[in-house]
Amino acid sequence: MQFNYKGTSVFYTDEGKGNTIVLLHGFLENSTMWDGIKPALIKRNRVVCIDLLGHGQTECFGYVHTMDLMAEVVTEVLQFLKIRRSIFVGHSMGGYVALAFAEESPDNVKGLCLLNSTTRADSPERVQLRTRAIEAVKTNYSNLVRMSISNLFRPKNRGLFQEEINQVKMEALKTPLQGYIAAQEGMKIRFDREALLHFSPYPKLLILGKKDPVLSYEDLVDQVNGTSVQKIELPDGHMSHIENQQEVINGLQEFVKGC
């Protein structure tokens, strides 16, 4: 379904009945990333998936898509659907958007799950990597996107999940160049929101991959030490919803019950 945000077309799906779960995809992904997870959740819940700005079937909105701007779009969609409180699950960049939403509208959060995501802002090194990627992608978009996707998986899984990886690449290449650049620019300037892990009142869950090539396992563990955040450690990479699909489904179902 389509929603109009200040003249920009935003795509979302809305299925099932019960507690609302909002699923937010990562960078170069779209709502189809949840196709393997969603059927299990829809059985007992209302599940809303939103294509974030410049991804999937949602159009771009300017040259920088900040996490706060994306969160504002999520807010508008949920208000349109007359949904007040939701459980949020964000993969990677989707986690950054969920955190921005939670900071702005804490009363509307019933639970928050970060899936292969972090509360911390980009390091100077990470900012530099994004800047280089933005320059490189302008001349070699297809190759850079394809390589970026493969690098999200644990090396030993790249052969095991070849079919799934090809599908992810196909969806990633639907992201327009402007969407790629605007999201990278937005992630570069996102705020550190680690305080939410310590001071927010709702249940929180972190699902992380021990061999995640993007996020440091030790850094993620450090973020939740001394907090009430539940933690699920998986053995593989950044794409837990594919590499460890059943474990993610089981973890989310238990988490939702506790919210």
CA nearest to 149, candidates 72, 101, 213: 213
Tokens read off for 137: 């992608």
Is residue 243 within 8 Å of 162, Cβ to Cβ?
A: no
pLDDT at 169: 98
Pairing verdict, β 8-15 and 2-5? antiparallel
For the chain, domains (ranges, CATH) are 2-258 (3.40.50.1820)
Is residue 102 within 8 Å of 111, Cβ to Cβ?
A: no
pLDDT at 24: 99
Map residue 137 onto helix, strand or coil. Answer: helix
Is residue 171 within 8 Å of 101, Cβ to Cβ?
A: no
pLDDT at 196: 97
pLDDT in tens, 204-247: 999 999 999 999 999 999 999 999 999 999 999 999 999 999 99
Residues present in the chain in total: 259
pLDDT in tens, 108-166: 999 999 999 999 999 999 999 999 999 999 999 999 999 999 999 999 999 999 999 99
pLDDT at 17: 97
d(CA 116, CA 26): 9
Burial of 206 (0-12, 13-18, 19+ CB in 10 A): buried
pLDDT in tens, 167-198: 999 999 999 999 999 999 999 999 999 999 99
- For helices 141-150 and 124-137, angle between their N-to-C axes, nearest 10 degrees: 140
d(CA 240, CA 259): 22
- Could you tell me the pLDDT band of residue 66, with boundaries at 50, 70 and 90? very high
The DSSP annotation for 82-106 comes to T---EEEEEETHHHHHHHHHHHH-G
pLDDT at 40: 98
Burial of 228 (0-12, 13-18, 19+ CB in 10 A): exposed
pLDDT at 27: 98
CA nearest to 196, candidates 81, 113, 91: 113
- Could you tell me the pLDDT band of residue 69, with boundaries at 50, 70 and 90? very high
Mean pLDDT across the stretch 63-77?
Answer: 98
Pairing verdict, β 19-24 and 45-50? parallel
Bridge partner residues of 15 (DSSP): 47
